[in-house]
Chains A and B, each alone.
Chain A
Amino acid sequence: MSITLTIDGQSVQAEEGQTVLEVAKRAGVTIPTLCYHPALEPLGACRLCVVEVIQRGRSQIVTSCTMPAEPGMEVRTSTPAVMESRRTVLELLLSRCPNVPVIQQLAAQYGVTEPPFEADDPNEKCILCGLCVRACNDLVGAHVLNFSDRGISRVIGPAFMEKTRDCIGCGACTIVCPTGAIEIVLEKEALYAAKPLGPASAIYVPFLQAVPRVPVIDTDACIRFRQQARTNGELADACGVCQLLCEARAIDYTQQDEELDIEVGAVVVATGFADFDPYLAPQYSFGKSPNIITGIEFERLSNSGGPTEGEILTAEGVPPKSVAILHCVGSRDKHTNKYCSRVCCMYALKQAHLVRDKTGADVFEFYMDIRAPGKSYEEFYERVQEEGVHFIRGKGAEVTVQPDGKLLVKGEDADLSRVVAVSVDMVILGTGMTAQPDAAEVSHLFGIGCGNEGFFTEAHPKLRPVETNTDGVYLAGTCQGPRDVPDTVAHANAAAAEVLALLTKGEVVISPATAEVNRDKCVGCGDCIPVCPYTAIARVDGKAQVNAALCKGCGTCVATCPSGAIEALHFTDEQIVAQIEGVLKWV
């Protein structure tokens, strides 16, 4: 039910149960607050949000965050009495915490520049508002933080002010604390483990260009899902802040993955590539130092949406002074992948440029030869050379972690015909592209070919580069073979055009070379049914029947039929035998 009240002379509508503060916020009236958080029950602890309320002829100074709005109420947010009351609150807060910026600013707004009393501890930041206590207990349910002691020795903290395993490190307290009094201190390793690839919070938009661009919940990090997992589904009431605050009411914790059956006329397979597993090249010591990273980890590190907001930092949190970039990791090597991954030379050059640009560090590139085919690629290579990157022609042979944590990279400089070794702060492994680990499954699913390397095979390497041997299934991008973004986009556009051509034509052209069953000869044994790679044969009225739209004319069924009841049109037994006899007659 809607009610009406006045705020600073303005008549406003409110829902029953709303507080005066909420109504004022909605109406665009600013009231200062410290201990208020929309996700938590108000407590009225800081007393900064006081307003004057006139009801039934009586005037009262009350905290607006706890005062329920009532019909006919008259609220005044900046009367002299209110201002004086807030000034007093701020004088006391500033006396307790003289060096907290939020309090200094608020105090200055109310004309309080000097604290009237001297602080016991000038570094005190906690105003004892208890927001963190409420977050920890009411939202997260971890029950770690609480008030202890009384009067002037009142403090907030875990029981006996001791480190506790009950703390799950969620960080909710640090987020709600208005004065920045709580900090999460992670051990270095934990910090690094969380750094290179993990999202910054449990709910996040996967990446800026994501379609649809909606947030997803990382159920391994989300407090609520973790609670649910911990209690085997018995409890699922922790936190819920995102649901509470989402005005569109779009958060649904019960949503499950669902399987949809969609009927389509064509499929474009664009399942991409997998990064070469750097553990398969143990000479580069991946995993032995957090400063040995793969190309894709570097991409994450230097991404402005990444954990360091794009700053290039070592695990120690400082910019590196020297960086080695190793080309062909896992590529062009008979022990791993023989082929060239095609994109890593160019991305390594890009990364060298980024390191030079952002940190000015010395960059050493170990390469066999630079593969820079493509528009403006060679020019970019030249530019990177001019930027002072040291190019060492020879594959990086080995990376070792020194006792002081520095990384020693050894290789052979073929130009100088000698072995070189450089000691650096960071090593980037130019890991190549491999097929997706599930490529074989996907190829079976669609009945498409898959070469030895695991990349899908196109119908013809030159003339039909996006088609597959299964009609209606097309390839786009790196699932067919290594290529960079421009080439992927071109390939994908070609696939889209093929699909459009197929769909708009409205009819499908099939080859006349299909198999045909002679019903008089067929005994209905069904031996041909399982051998057909296209499931084109079915038993109809007890006899085999070939669906000409599905049959590709391989003739395997023909060779299988024990009764000789199937003919491969244009490749009949008769035709083949005539050919055999014909050629033998003349030689």
Chain B
Amino acid sequence: MGVEFEPRIIAFMCNWCTYAAADTAGVSRMQQSLNVLPIRVMCSGRVSPEMVLRAFRAGADGVLVMGCHIGDCHYSNGNHRTIKRMPLLRNLLGYTGINPERLELQWVSGAEAPRFVEVTEAFIAKIRQLGPLSQEVME
């Protein structure tokens, strides 16, 4: 095989927690891979199933939806919707031929920059294992 597969990951981050954590991780010069492509939304509750599917269609190998921990959402309970929506969407992903493992929901608060790195690195490693989405869908 030629060049090693570099997964492309779309990460939806809520403005108030995870986006801040990502910022802090950067400012603190934590070692990070370059595979995560951040998309800022005001709240994880803004991420509709359609958005996730559009990301896969546009060529993402994995999608992370990230927001504040339950109870910490800037909008009180926007993430209560997310926590119901995403597992449901994961169940449905199978029918489209996409491995549900390629979608993950993770809570990372603004104070958890190390956790942000941990979570994203683990996800990158997993997607690396799974290989490119294009290959999976073609099979």
Contact = CB atoms under 8 A, between A and B. Distances in A.
Interface of A: 444, 447-452, 457, 469, 513, 531, 533-534, 552-556, 558-560, 568, 571, 573, 576-577, 579-581, 583-584, 587
A573 B72 contact: no
Listed residue (A452, A577, A580) with the most chain B CB atoms within 10 angstroms of its CB: A580
A558 B54 CA distance: 16
7 contacts: A447-B76, A448-B76, A450-B71, A469-B76, A556-B46, A580-B51, A584-B60
Contact of B72 (A457, A531, A577, A580): A457
Contacts of B6: 587
Given A447-B76, A555-B43, A580-B39, 19 more contacts: A448-B76, A452-B69, A457-B72, A533-B75, A534-B75, A554-B74, A554-B75, A556-B45, A556-B46, A556-B81, A559-B85, A573-B50, A576-B51, A579-B39, A580-B10, A581-B58, A583-B37, A584-B8, A587-B34
Contacts of A513: 42
Contacts of B60: 580, 584
Contacts of B130: none
B43 A469 contact: no
A559 B82 CA distance: 9
A452 B60 CA distance: 34
Contact of A568 (B42, B71, B74, B81): B42
Given A552-B75, A558-B48, A577 B42 contact: no
A535 B77 CA distance: 12
B71 A576 contact: no
A452 B107 CA distance: 14
Contacts of A450: 71
Contact of B46 (A447, A457, A469, A558): A558
Nearest to B38: A583
B93 interface: no
B73 interface: yes
A539 B8 CA distance: 42
B46 A568 contact: yes
A556 B6 CA distance: 32
B103 to A, nearest CB: 14
Contacts of B105: none
B81 A576 contact: no
Contacts of B74: 449, 469, 554
Contacts of B76: 444, 447-449, 469, 533
Contacts of B94: none
Given A450-B71, A559-B46, A584 B51 contact: no
A554 B37 contact: no
Given A533-B76, A584-B60, A553 B42 contact: yes
A583 B40 CA distance: 12
A472 B20 CA distance: 24
Interface string B43-63: 101111111001100111000
Contacts of B71: 449-452
A560 B43 CA distance: 13
Listed residue (A533, A558, A571) with the most chain B CB atoms within 10 angstroms of its CB: A533
Contacts of B81: 531, 556, 559-560
B66 to A, nearest CB: 15
Listed residue (A447, A449, A573, A581) with the most chain B CB atoms within 10 angstroms of its CB: A449
Interface string B92-112: 000000000000000000000
Contact of A555 (B10, B46, B49): B46
